[in-house]
Structures are given as structure tokens and as C-alpha cells.
Amino acid sequence: MESTLIDDVSRINFLDNLKESTPGETEFHQAVQEVHESVAPVIERHVEYRKHKILERIVEPERIISFRVTWIDDNGVPQVNRGYRVQMNSAIGPYKGGLRFHPSVNQSILKFLGFEQIFKNALTSLPLGGGKGGSNFDPKGKSDGEVMRFCQNFMLELSKHIGHRIDIPAGDIGVGGREIGYMYGMYRKIENQFSGVLTGKGVKWGGSLIRPEATGYGLVYFSQYILENINDSMEGKTCLVSGSGNVAQYAIEKIIELGGKVLTVSDSSGHIYDEAGIDADKLRFIQELKNERRGRIAEYAGEYDSAHYFETDRSLDHNPIWSHKADCALPCATQNELNGKDAQHLVDGGTILVGEGANMPCTPEAINILQNNGVIYAPGKASNAGGVATSGLEMAQNYSGSHWTSEEVDRRLQIIMRTIHDNCLHAAQKYSSGPDYMAGANIAGFLKVADSMIAQGVT
Ligand code: NDP
């Protein structure tokens, strides 16, 4: 009889082989290791996943496209950046995932994001494969004209590899409505067709209502469902939120709506602690500051007496935004922004829930500390899936030529987040001990994609 036990040696071998074959891709290794640990009990129980080498196949991108992007700055000087699209897995649908413009972008970061996207998209229950892309271009400090010329030249190359039934990119860090607009305009011109090839489009030209709000709203819906599961709610909860971009802004909006109190907000230069809480008026100030004037969050402290500003100190071994006391912590900025020390501060401060708005904001050590101390941890691939889910709803509207009301999209978003929540719990109960949302998300996402890969043969 064939053994159904994976011994420690073969587990270690898998990760060692991965590290050896993808040297230096630390973020990618981190993301794979987390999924690998969660799905180990599934693979132990079901020999078919080993027989079909699902793990070995799923970590290998179907395709990586890397290209030069050249553009002319406002001084007439040519500039060069590197563009990418990582087409990770299309077993359950066309590649889908955002584009990130940030100086830190490299192949490892995009592979980690694309890998996460496979499972996240599977969890949404929509037919979406996983992908991610972007560039090391930094939109910060660039004029609108420079951003437009960069986006147009980026799309000149990317357009050869995407399509509304092939690969449908969206936004991410550094790519908001402005950048999507410039890229969409160029795609339309090159291809001479008006198709739903990008999501996050403006509502007047094929976009969906609630798409900008969806990731932040979805995160808070998910957090609310977790709290309801322990007979609690967001009402009266104090919350720490990091970031001040798309995800953070709409998470704050929904927390306020549900009766919670948001104490912090941040950008890469520093963070604000507002003891009076961020209300709707203060949120409008943040939105005008970040989305229109593209200023720094430090300005908030000059505007409101109840606020204190703490400048980022990169020599610290922790992130001081997580040293404040609060019931909930929602990291909405970037990967690895909450480490073991930060997790311990949250535990000591009595935090009961950490919900990831960003992708992989908690380090593995932080997750261990949170879970070992009874803090409920909601992994980004489940809790921030509302964005890509609503992108899926935008695609559905584009395919059918329809336009749904805000209420309709929001209703569907809530159903999707509820379904993800319940599926995570169900998978966790079946394969691990207790309500472990991380195990549940990884297992539920893995099963759908793995079974689809097996059904479609070795491709
Ligand atoms: P934005 O570009 O709109 O905002 C990003 C925010 O995070 C800004 O406040 C930015 O500050 C801050 N930030 C970025 N990098 C760093 C860093 N290295 N250190 C500290 N702060 C940083 O991006 P989004 O809000 O769209 O994305 C935020 C996170 O959410 C990302 O992890 C993204 O992958 C994830 N996500 C986004 C989705 C979406 O629909 N947009 C969907 C699912 C996940 P500054 O202005 O100084 O750069």
C-alpha cells in the first residue's frame, strides 16, 4: 500500500529545492512556506495531490514577462524602468491580479503576490486565475504628464500579453484610478477595441460602482463576521489602521459606519495617532490630501489638535504604530509591516483581532505570536479578497453590458465576504484544529485549484 504520510524530510526537501531553484526570492519563499504548512494535512490525507505533483507545479509561474519601459521626463531626459507581468496560474480562469508601481518592485515580490492571488481568487468563488505585475517606477513626486507617459509606454508592451479573456490586470500600490485611466486609454488605442481588459476603471467608462471601496469595505465586513462568530461586533471597537491609500481609506470609512473608532493612519514617512478618533470629516481631509494633493500624512497633525505625528525611524526593530492599545489592528500598507515585536505589543495591549488589508503584512513570527496568544488572525488572501471579487463583478458587468447600482454591488460583495468567511471556517474545522482562518483560507483555496489542475491533466 502506498504511504499517505509526508515525512519531515520530504517537506524540508520541497522548500529547500524551491529556495535553491529561486535564489534570493525571499518574499516568494515566505508566501510558499505559509501555504505549504497549512496544506500539509490535506496532502497527507490525499495521495492524489502528491501523485500529480500539485505543489511542485503550483509554485512555478505559467509565464513571467519582463520588459523595458522607456519614457521621457519633464526635462526631456529619457528614463528607463523595468516592467513585469507574472502569469501564475490559470486553472480556474483568466489571470487576474493588480499592477504595483513602487521602487521596491522586483520578481520576488510579484511572484509572492501572484502566488497569494491564486488562492485568494479561488476563495472568491469566481472563475479567476492568479497573476500580478508592475514596475519599479515610483509615481511619487512625478508630474501627471510623467505618470501618463510612463503608463502609456508600460501598456505599449503589456498589451501584447493581456486581454479580457486572457489576463485582466487591476490596481495595487501606486496604481489608482489615474494610472488605470492612462493605461486603459493606451490599450484602447493600440487594440482599437473597448473591452474590459482592466478593472478599477472609472464609472463613466466601464468601471463598477463600489470597486474603489471594495477592498477596505470587504476587510471590515470580514472582520465583522469574525466578531459576530464570537458574539461580538465592530460597534465601539478601537482600531489601529496603517496606510492611507485606497485600502486604508475605505476600511476607515466602513469602521466609522459600523460604530468603531479609528485611532491611527500612516504613510511611509510616519504615522498619526488621533486620540479623538478619525471621523468622517477627518477622513475627507485624508482623501483630499492623499488622492488630490498627493501630500504627506504629517499634514494631518497640523490640522487637528487631538492628533500626534510620529516620524518613521527605520533604525527601530519594530513599527511604533502597533505599540498603541486597541481592540483591532488592520494593517493596510504593505508586506512585512508588522513583525514579532509588534505582535507582542498588540498582545500586551489587549488586541483581539488582526485583519490584513495589505498582502502579507504580518511576518511568520508575528502570526505565530498572535495565534499562540489567542488573537484572531485574518489572512489577507481571505480578508482583502473583496477587491478582486468586485473586479470580478466589474468583469461580469462588462461582459454583459450592464451596470449595477451601488446597493447591488455592495450586496454581492457582502455575500462573497460572508461565503469566504464560512468556507475558511469549514475548511479549518475539517483539516486543522479550531477556527484557524489562515489554515482555512489556504486549504479552501488550494483544494479548488488543485482539483481543477488534476481534472485538466498535466499542463
Ligand atoms: P496605495 O498605493 O493606495 O496606498 C499604499 C499605502 O501604503 C500608502 O499610504 C503608502 O504610503 C503606504 N506604503 C506603501 N509602501 C510602504 C512602505 N514600504 N512602508 C510604509 N508604508 C508604505 O495602495 P493600496 O491601498 O491599494 O494597497 C495597500 C495594500 O493593500 C498593498 O499590500 C496591496 O497589495 C493590498 N491590496 C490592495 C488591493 C486594492 O484593491 N487596491 C486589493 C488587495 C490587496 P506612501 O504614500 O508614503 O507610499
Backbone φ/ψ region at 354: left (φ over 0), alpha (ψ -120 to 50), beta: beta
Q: Which pLDDT value is given to residue 11?
A: 65
Contact 176, 246 (CB under 8 A): yes
Q: Which residue has the cell 508600460?
A: 154
Is there a domain that residue 199 lies in?
no
| Side chain identity, residue 20 | E
In a shared domain, residues 180 and 266: no
Task: From 120, 173, 179, 332, give the residue whose CB has the most ligand 1 atoms within 8 Å, as the site to mutate.
Answer: 173
Give the span between the Cα atoms of 386 and 215, in whole angstroms.
5
State which ligand 1 atom lies nearest to the alpha carbon of 243: 9
In a shared domain, residues 148 and 295: no
Number of domains observed in the structure of the chain: 3
User: What cell numbers appear for 352 in the block?
Assistant: 483581539
Within 13 Å, how many C-alpha atoms sit on residue 346's CB side?
Answer: 37
Is there a domain that residue 391 lies in?
no
The CATH number of residue 237's host domain is 3.40.50.720
State which ligand 1 atom lies nearest to the alpha carbon of 312: 20
Give the span between the Cα atoms of 138 and 1, in whole angstroms.
57
Q: Is the CB of 334 under 6 A from ligand 1?
A: yes
Q: Which pLDDT value is given to residue 435?
A: 86
User: What cell numbers appear for 106 in the block?
Assistant: 522586483
Q: Which residue has the cell 466602513?
A: 254
376-379: long-range pairs with CB below 8 Å, 24+:
376/226, 376/230, 376/352, 376/435, 376/437, 377/437, 377/438, 378/222, 378/223, 378/226, 378/353, 378/354, 378/437, 379/437, 379/438, 379/441, 379/442
Q: Is the CB of 172 under 6 A from ligand 1?
A: yes
User: What cell numbers appear for 405 in the block?
Assistant: 447600482
Gap from CA of 275 to ligand 1 centroid (Å): 24
In a shared domain, residues 108 and 223: no
Q: Is the CB of 319 under 6 A from ligand 1?
A: no
In a shared domain, residues 226 and 93: no
In a shared domain, residues 45 and 138: no
In a shared domain, residues 52 and 78: no
Give the span between the Cα atoms of 182 and 339, in whole angstroms.
36
Give the span between the Cα atoms of 118 and 139, in whole angstroms.
27
Q: Which residue has the cell 471594495?
A: 214
Strands (E), 206-283: 238-241, 261-262, 264-267, 270-274
| β-bridge partners, 228 | none
Is there a domain that residue 445 lies in?
no
The conformation of residue 288, written as its DSSP 8-state character, comes to I
The conformation of residue 7, written as its DSSP 8-state character, comes to P
Is there a domain that residue 307 lies in?
yes
Q: Is the CB of 268 under 6 A from ligand 1?
A: yes
In a shared domain, residues 227 and 181: no
Is there a domain that residue 455 lies in?
no
Give the span between the Cα atoms of 351 and 243, in whole angstroms.
19
The catalytically annotated residue of 132, 237, 261, 381 is 132
Domain boundary among 15, 36, 58: 58
Is there a domain that residue 402 lies in?
no
Give the span between the Cα atoms of 66 and 84, in whole angstroms.
4
In a shared domain, residues 88 and 187: yes
Domain boundary among 365, 383, 401: 383
Is there a domain that residue 35 lies in?
yes
Give the span between the Cα atoms of 382 and 94, in whole angstroms.
20
pLDDT, one tens digit per residue, over 287-335 is 999 999 999 999 999 999 999 999 999 999 999 999 999 999 999 999 9
Provide the residue range defining the domain that includes 347: 214-383
Give the span between the Cα atoms of 423 and 225, in whole angstroms.
12
Gap from CA of 243 to ligand 1 centroid (Å): 6
**For the chain, which ranges sit under pLDDT 70?**
1-11
In a shared domain, residues 189 and 320: no
Q: Look at the chain and count its residues.
A: 459
189-192: long-range pairs with CB below 8 Å, 24+:
190/155, 190/156, 190/159, 191/159
Gap from CA of 333 to ligand 1 centroid (Å): 4
What are the backbone dihedrals phi and psi of residue 138, each rounded to the nearest 5 degrees, phi first? -110, 110
Q: Ligand 1 atom 21: the closest Cα is on which residue?
A: 268
Strands 261-262 and 167-170: unpaired
In a shared domain, residues 276 and 379: yes
Task: From 147, 178, 221, 268, give the residue whose CB has the most ligand 1 atoms within 8 Å, as the site to mutate.
Answer: 268
Q: Is 83 helix (H, G, I), strand (E, B) or coil?
A: strand
| Side chain identity, residue 419 | T
Give the span between the Cα atoms of 396 and 402, in whole angstroms.
8
The CATH number of residue 93's host domain is 3.40.50.10860
- The crossing angle, in degrees rounded to 10, of helices 386-400 and 211-229 is 130
| Side chain identity, residue 392 | G
Q: Which residue has the cell 504593505?
A: 334
In a shared domain, residues 311 and 255: yes
Indicate yes or no: pTM above 0.85: yes
C-alpha gyration radius of the chain:
21
Is there a domain that residue 440 lies in?
no
Active site residue 132: yes
In a shared domain, residues 42 and 86: no
Q: Is the CB of 428 under 6 A from ligand 1?
A: no
State which ligand 1 atom lies nearest to the alpha carbon of 388: 42
Q: Which pLDDT value is given to residue 77?
A: 98
* Concatenated DSSP letters of 137-182: ---TT--HHHHHHHHHHHHHHHTTT-BTTTEEEE-BTTB-HHHHHH
Give the span between the Cα atoms of 38 and 22, in whole angstroms.
21
